[in-house]
Each structure stands twice: as C-alpha cells, then as structure tokens.
Structure 1
C-alpha cells in the first residue's frame, strides 16, 4: 500500500516508517526536517511539512493524493521553538525543564513526560493475549552495558555543561564591561587607546553573544563552534602579544584550555536523536 506517516522523523514515527518500508509498502514520511532522515532511511520518500501550519484542506490535497493509509505519529510533549501543543494535542504544565523546552531542548524531565511516567503502564489482556511486563523484568532481560551507563551519566550532565559554558562566556563578556579602561590596558602597548577600547568592547559583545546563543537549541552547535574558534583566537593572540599571561597567577590563558575541552564535550553530546 501507499502509506503516509505524519511525524515520521520522530521517536515513534521513525520506527513505524522503517518497519512498513521493510514490509514492502511505499512509505512517504512527513516531517519538519527530512534532510537528516533521508540519510538514515533512504528507502522512504521524505516530504517536508509543518503540521501546525497545515490548517486548510488545500494544504493536504497534494500529500494525500494516491495514499491508501495515513498513520499519525505526530505529537509533542512540551511547547518549544518548533512544537506547539495547542496545534497538536494538549495544554502543558510548566516546570524548570519546560523552560529548556521553550529554548528548543528536549529534556526528558519535562512536566508532561514526568506526569505520564508517574501514571505507570496499564495493560489489559485482550484478544491478542498480550500483557505488559514489569519494569524489573524488562530491565533484567536487557541489562545495561557500559555504553548505557556512559550515556545516562552524560545526559544528566548535559544541561550543566551547556549552562556552565553559557555562564562562563556571559560573565567573560559582562565583567570587563564594568571596568573597560582596566580591561583594555592589555592592548595599549600594541595600539592607541581608542583602538584598545573598541577591541575590548567587540570581544565582550562576542563573548556575550556566544553565551546567550548556546542556550537556544537551534543555535547551540554554531555557538559551540564559535566558542572553539574564539578560544583558539584568544590563545593565539595572547601567546603572541603577551606570552607572560601564561605565567599569570590567575591563569587567564590556562583557564581557556578546560573551557575548550568542555566545549568539545558539549559538541559530542549535542545530538538528541
């Protein structure tokens, strides 16, 4: 059959799409960002669409043409930059992780997810004769490996890494603005006072921009790459212009090194699907 799957790039939709394609059906997948999905599942005909904007019958005419079945796997657990619960399914309850959801992060601790988990899994034997197994039995049948433990621990650290990097870069940009003459004094041996002040202001604004951008999920990768580039530029410039900073008791250049390692860690754990 010709089958159209809504939300085919999602957690459930991607599995449903793969299974139906394996069973020999002509599957068309619908999602907001099908480019990466096409690389993972090239056998599926991917179409780009945003369900929250498809409110008129004519928006569906081309997609539904020649389709025998439509499978709806679209959904969201929290309002965010790309999810609108009012346009898909439910009204959210606000919580700390929900704030991260508004910035595009898919935290597993969002209030709606925690509510669903607290209700447990209920199952009644029907015609299929199938019943849900307990959590203990499921975990016993699929024991965690070292990779699972790494993932679980890093996932808990992920928000701390991102927020820590944001705070570091925001403070790096804001604090010098309180004492611009003192901060620009490092550049005075190499340029006039006006140029030193201008360079100080520019670097402060760059630091603030990167610290703010890394908090927004769609901008996070570019912000992290920018942090790496700027950090390397600071290290190179500081080494060439004022190498004595490496021996400074406060370690202004030495402290950049762990910042780079933390940024690489954030990049390595950024993907959520």
Structure 2
C-alpha cells in the first residue's frame, strides 16, 4: 500500500482483516476448495501480480496440507497463465530434510511453479521474527517466559532467522523490479543460532531473570507433540504439533547469499531485530500468559464436566433436596438438577473445541449468572456455606472472562 499498489487480500475469514485494513479489498475463499482452475477466475479478475503467503503445517479439522500447498497452488498457477497474470511471488520454505508433508508439498508447488511460463519468484524464508507473534515465534516467546526453568530440546539443530521487515522489503522491491524473475531465494541472516540460545535471548529481551535449563529427552518431546496433535483434532493449531517440532529439531540451513546480493544487502541480525522493537508490557503479558490459555481452557472444561457428572450422580439427591427446601416440587427439583448437569457437561465439552470455545465461555458466564441469581433468591443461605458453594462461582466466572480475552490467536 505504501508503494501505491491497490491490494486485494484473500482468506477464509476476512471480517477482522477488513475492520483493521478497510482500505484493502477482501475476498473470502477457502484454498481447500480452490483446487480447480475455475475457482480462481473471480479472485484474479483485475489482478496484475499475486503474492502467495498461504501455508499449513499439519492436517486438522480446518486444514488440509496437500490441498492448500499443492493442489490449490497448481490450480492458481494454471489460472494465472490463462488469465494473463504474469507475475507471481510464492512463499515456500528452505528444505529441512524432515520429510514431513509440509515440506514435500511445498517442494511440489515449487516444482510446478518453476515449470510454468510465469515470471515467478520463489522466496524461502527462515524462521520469521516479527513484532506480531503467531505459531512458532509465539511458542518460543512462551518457552522463554516460563517461570522456573528453560526447556531445552535435546538434539535440536541450529536455526537461522529473518526479519519480517526484510521479507516485506524483498516483496516490495520485487514488485517494483522484475529483473530477477524465475529465481529461488533463501531469506535468512547468514548467522546460525542454537534453539537454546534463541530462547535465552528472547528471555533477556523480555527483561526476565535467568532460569536454569531443563533438558527435555526425546520421549518427553514426543509426548508433548502427541498431546498437541490430539488438540489439533479439536481444532487447535498448536505450534507444538509433530510437524512443527520435527521442523524445529531439524533446524534451518538456508543459503541466503543470492538474496543478499540481489535484494537486501544487510539483513537484520537477531540482536538488531530485538533492539529495534524493545519488549513492552504487552509482549511480557503475552509471553507469560501463553501457556495459561490451554491450561485454563482444559481446567474449565474438566471443572464443568466434573460438576455435571457429580450432579447426575453422587450430588444429585443433595442438590434436589436443596431445591425442594427452596420451594420446588420433588419432580421439578429432580428435573432441574438433571437439566443443569447436562448443560454443565455440554458447556465443559464445547469449550475444548476451537470452533465452539467462545460460545461455550459466554454460555458459562450466562449459566453462572443464572445460578447466582436463582440461588440468591431461593437459597440465600448458600452464601454463608462453609465450603463457599456460591462464592466459588465468582472466580470461575472471572476465569471464563480471562479465557475469552486470551482466546484469539491472531
């Protein structure tokens, strides 16, 4: 936009983006379904150049690696050729040797684009660092901010990093100057850094005191990846899934000499990136709260499910008797306890799924408020209960509010 381009964005969910960047034109489209050439006819109308930033690490309920990174890309390349769009900048990844579906489909798309007649450019950035945190860079901030120890993955190979601003500058210059078309560039600072050292520097950047390292054996990392893969089936895109950890453990061995010669003569080093964007209270709060989100959602889910199970079992009679003492008939009291318990179980289960988590959290707040109002009217003595039967509802509501605040990933 700063270069004077009219920019169109395409993505699955464009409402938030349209509110933040209303000057852009936005098209809603799911690449999983755009695997035919005809799917691209309308999106490419009046377009002169395409910049493809799409990528999927691992299959899940909302993601299909092969469809997004290979099938949809081949359809896009053919559609560009047939519609007269000559220039296409394609983001790929440096080969890691991991053998993951993420890597192999990226390579498939690279080969298909290289065989096309387009004026293409393939950019393969290393680990991208940005003031905005998402995915792997967010995970690294979370690891750096852990309070008692610094996890260290055994056998992890060195990485290379690149600044998001150098990446953006490369695209800007490439759109202005097509002289280096039909070439592949690795985007990275030449210096390699160990994963442990990167986490240490991020902790220093956050202004947190040093903590001892805790060496994580391979079996423990595999267990974490398995749990993250399980969360992926519930719709959560954890950066600790098998593919991400395998890519991290294989490291990044980029060869940026051509990129430095042709596009960015002095790429920003890690220390330069961190110094240019000093960590503020926002960064510290994000990093310190990174692991609170999954822990909080699981804790709330299990709490509500357990509460519902108890209401259907051991505590059912006691709860029904309390409602009878408040003026309900025995039949109505029993139905209310069963209904309330089923609602609790449903909300506890729904908060564990990414698609329904927000609605479930709002439902928890609403149901909790109803419980408080109804109990205050019918059984006010519960406020003085020795075990804090009603008092405990208030921190549970605050926990739901906190999870609502932490829920967005982007």
**Same structural fold, with TM-score higher than 0.5 when normalized by the shorter chain:** yes
d(CA) in 1 for partners of 2:24 and 2:409?
A: 22
1:210 positional shift: 0.7
* Aligned position for 1:206: 343
DSSP-derived class of the 1:80 partner: coil
Aligned to 2:101: 91
> Which of 101, 117, 142 is matched with 2:248 structurally?
117
3-state SS of 2:239 partner: coil
Q: CA deviation at 1:230?
A: 0.7
Q: Supply the distance in 2 between the matched residues of 1:121 and 1:228 (Cα, whole angstroms).
A: 49
1:46-57 matches, cutoff 5 A: 46-57=26-37
Aligned residues: 253
Q: Closer, same or farther in 2 for the Cα pair 1:253/1:23, shift >3 Å?
A: same
> C-alpha separation between the residues in 2 aligned to 1:25 and 1:148?
32
* Residue among 80, 102, 113 paired with 2:233: 102
**Structure 2: distance between partners of 1:230 and 1:38:** 33
Matches for 1:132-211 after TM superposition, within 5 Å: 135=270, 138-179=273-314, 180-189=316-325, 190-211=327-348
Query: 1:4-34 deviations in whole A, cap 9, x for unaligned?
Result: xxxxxxxxxxxxxxxxx23222222111111
Q: CA deviation at 1:240?
A: 1.2
Which structure is higher in helix share?
A: 1
Deviation at 1:141, TM superposition (A): 4.8
What residue in structure 1 maps to residue 125 of structure 2?
none
Residues 22-72 of structure 1 show CA distances to partners (whole Å, capped at 9, x for unaligned) of 322222211111111111111111111111112222222222233222221
Gaps of 5+ in 1: 1-20
- Give 1:156 deviation, angstroms: 1.5
Do the aligned residues in 2 keep the contact of 1:79 with 1:102 (CA within 8 Å)?
no
Contact 1:246 1:252 in 2 (8 A): yes
Please report how far the alpha carbon of residue 247 of structure 1 lies from its aligned counterpart in structure 2 after TM superposition: 1.6
Distance 1:39 1:142, change over 3 A: closer
Mapped partners of 1:137, 1:63: distance in 2:
38
Matched, 1:78 2:88: no
Q: Bigger shift: 171-180 or 64-73?
A: 64-73
TM-score (norm 1): 0.84
Is the 8 Å Cα contact of residues 122 and 132 (structure 1) preserved in structure 2? no
Between the aligned partners of 1:133 and 1:114, the Cα distance in structure 2 is 25
The structure-2 alpha-carbon separation of the partners of 1:123 and 1:131, relative to structure 1 and needing over 3 Å to count, comes to farther
Q: Which moved more, 1:77-86 or 1:137-146?
A: 137-146
Match of 2:359 among 218, 222, 228: 222
Distance in 1 of aligned mates of 2:395 and 2:312: 24
User: C-alpha offsets along residues 204-255 of structure 1, whole Å, 9 cap, x if unaligned?
Assistant: 1111111011111121111111111111111111111111111212211111
Structure 2 portions without partners, runs of 5+? 70-99, 103-221
| Deviation of the 1:144 alpha carbon | 2.5
Flag the 1:47–1:145 CA change in 2: closer, same or farther, 3 A.
same
Correspondence for 1:13: none
**Is the 8 Å Cα contact of residues 28 and 45 (structure 1) preserved in structure 2?**
yes
